[in-house]
Structure 1
Amino acid sequence: MRLKNWIFAVIICTFFSLVLTGCSNSNSNNNSADWAINFVVWDGYIYKISDEYVDDISEEIGEVTKYSDMEGTYSGNFSNKYEKGTKYYSIKGIGTEIAIAIEEKDGKYRKAIRDGKYGEE
């Protein structure tokens, strides 16, 4: 009787180990990023999206060429918030080495502040 109980316990432990291992790996192929910030990339630099809106925009300087919410490094004017085709503008009185404006769907322009070279840690 003891041998049966021991075999049963081993089978149960093995079963639960397999189930728990399967559950912990169920999302291992999901590369979706949990971005800490929303950003755009323009001219090789990353710009963090701020809560501030600007009215005094100057000229169009570019647009989003690639949108993705998946982790990775992308070329071009990439964004994890704005879809492809979203326009970038310079801001009157502020150099693009400091900030740019992003045109939103509602016609407002959100300020994005430069945070360094894209792809550098």
Structure 2
Amino acid sequence: MKRKQLLSIAVLFVLFISFYPGKTLATSWAYPFVVWDGYIYVISDEYVTEIGNEIGYVTRYSDMEQYSGNFSNAYKRGTIYYSIKDISTDQAIAVEESDGLYIKAYREAEYEIRSPFDGFLNGQQGIIKIIFFSVLGILTIVLIYKLIKNNLSLGEITQKR
């Protein structure tokens, strides 16, 4: 009975560790960006002076995880977005860096929140991680089972003497 309980606890522990998305699965960014209105805008090194209307602001900042809304990996919460005079927001927006200083951000694509298991290789990386962690979990369970079995056997041998 005790062996089954220990084995059950070990299985649950291994499953929890295997599928817990910790810091090792953190996002890495190729470039600084902001998200506005469902699109990702890549920060350029171009400053603009012809600012239009305020159109939004950063609602969440993180350099490790992705979020929905007006998210950024480069600018803190509250950083304001502006339209640029004579340029459509479909092409670019301005991001306030400091009072009177605005940097241009070019629209790249629709913003999609990805799972930590998504990746390159047409999504194959997620499958590879799941298979790897599953095999690792099974091997760990077998090892724990053998250790428990051997300890109990050694205890029985000691009692027989």
Number of equivalent positions? 93
- 8 Å contact from structure 2 (residues 35, 71) kept in 1: yes
| 2:83 is equivalent to residue 104 of structure 1 | no
Where do 5+ consecutive residues of structure 2 fail to align?
A: 1-20, 115-161
> Which residue of 2 is the match for residue 92 of structure 1?
85
Q: How does 1:27-66 map to 2 (within 5 A)?
A: 29-30=22-23, 31-66=25-60
d(CA) in 1 for partners of 2:94, 2:78: 14
Q: Which is worse superposed, 32-41 or 62-71? A: 32-41
RMSD: 1.9
Whole-angstrom CA distance in 2 between matches of 1:33 and 1:55: 33
CA contact (8 A) 1:102 1:112 kept: yes
TM-score (ref. length: structure 1): 0.71
Q: 1:114 to 1:67 in 2, by over 3 A?
A: same
8 Å contact from structure 2 (residues 68, 113) kept in 1: no
CA distance in 2, matches of 1:100, 1:107: 15
Name the structure where strand makes up a greater proportion of residues.
1
The percentage of counterpart residues that share the same residue type is 61
Report which of the two structures shows the higher radius of gyration computed on alpha carbons. Answer: 2
Structure 1 stretches of 4+ moved >4 Å: none
Superposition deviation, residue 70 in structure 1: 1.2
Q: Residue deviations 1:89-121, cap 9 Å, x none?
A: 000000000000000025310000000100178
Partner of 1:82: 75
